[in-house]
Amino acid sequence: MKGMDREMTKIQNYVENVFSGIPKTKEAVEMKLGIIDSMEEKYAELIAGGKNEHEAFGEVIADFGSIDEIRQELGYDGEERSEPAAGSLHQTGRKLDAEFQKEYEQFKKKFAIAITAGVALCILAVIAMLVLDEIMPESSNIPLVAFLLIILAAVCLFIYFGMQEEKYERQKRQSIADTEIDEALRQQILEEISSSKKNPVADSLCGIIMLAATVLFLLLGFLKGMWHPGWIVFPVGGILCGIVNIIAQMVKKS
């Protein structure tokens, strides 16, 4: 283990070294750490596969690549990057997702407090009215006014926070709908991929089969008059084609 630890840190040392000229922005650090993790995992796999430390280390370093790619990606080379600003709006969209969660959490606490306060105010209103009714002169309107004012405050609270809650609910439902759309799109693409991997050999074989079926059908019909049972060549041909395709797919898998 001691030897292996030395090499592991060697990987870290190497990468840190190569990255030393690069400003430690969040992006740069993320890439650096990702590369270190990936290299260490590869190293561990090579060691487990029987290679000795130095061999494994050498291989892992050989697959490092070029720090210039990193510089280019971060924009330090003055070279153009593919698709720079077009998607940045969307990237903010993704970050907002996580922030939205946090916001929602905080809001939920405030919401609970507000509702409790609203209910408390309602109770307070009744109490205030009863108390004031006792201590105020008969014809005074103060108890009723006090009651209504406090109720008004409670209602304002309920309405305001109710609307906020609605807003969050709507956003949440929207993002769920978006995820479902994304998922549907992904399924569609997966299907497109698997169906686009056509096998031309199978297709030409299919063509030959159907051609033969047609010829057979015509022969049986014209020479033997057997149009009636003769038509069966076509369904049989279709089935044979299906079998050929399935075999082709199985062969592809292997």
Partner 1 sequence: MIRGYNDTIVLSLLVQGDSYGYEISRAIDRLSGGNYQIKETTLYSTVNRLEKNGYIASYYGNETFGKRRTYYRITGEGLRYYRGKCEEWELTKRVVDCFTRQTGNERDG
Nearest residue (CB) to partner 1, 170 versus 252: 252
Q: Is there binding between residue 89 and partner 1 (CB under 8 A)? A: yes
Q: Is there binding between residue 194 and partner 1 (CB under 8 A)? A: no
Q: Is there binding between residue 47 and partner 1 (CB under 8 A)? A: no
Nearest residue (CB) to partner 1, 138 versus 192: 192
Hey, which residues between 121 and 180 contact partner 1 (CB under 8 A)?
178
- Binding partner 1 (rule: CB under 8 A), the pick from 10, 22, 51, 64 is 64
Nearest approach, Cβ of 251 to partner 1 (angstroms)? 6
Q: Is there binding between residue 186 and partner 1 (CB under 8 A)? A: yes
Residue-wise DSSP of the chain: -HHHHHHHHHHHHHHHHHGGGS---HHHHHHHHHHHHHHHHHHHHHHHTT--HHHHHHHHHHTS--HHHHHHHHT-S----SS-GGGHHHHHHHHHHHHHHHHHHHHHHHHHHHHHHHHHHHHHHHHHHHHHHHHS-TT--HHHHHHHHHHHHHHHHHHHHHHHHHHHHHHHHHHHHHHHHHHHHHHHHHHHHHHH---HHHHHHHHHHHHHHHHHHHHHHHHH--HHHHTTHHHHHHHHHHHHHHHHHHHHH-
- Binding partner 1 (rule: CB under 8 A), the pick from 67, 115, 132, 142 is 67
Which residues of the shown chain bind partner 1 in the complex (CB under 8 A)? 27, 30-31, 34-35, 37-39, 41-42, 63-67, 69-70, 72-73, 81-83, 86-91, 93-94, 97, 178, 181-182, 185-186, 189-190, 192-193, 199-201, 251-252, 254
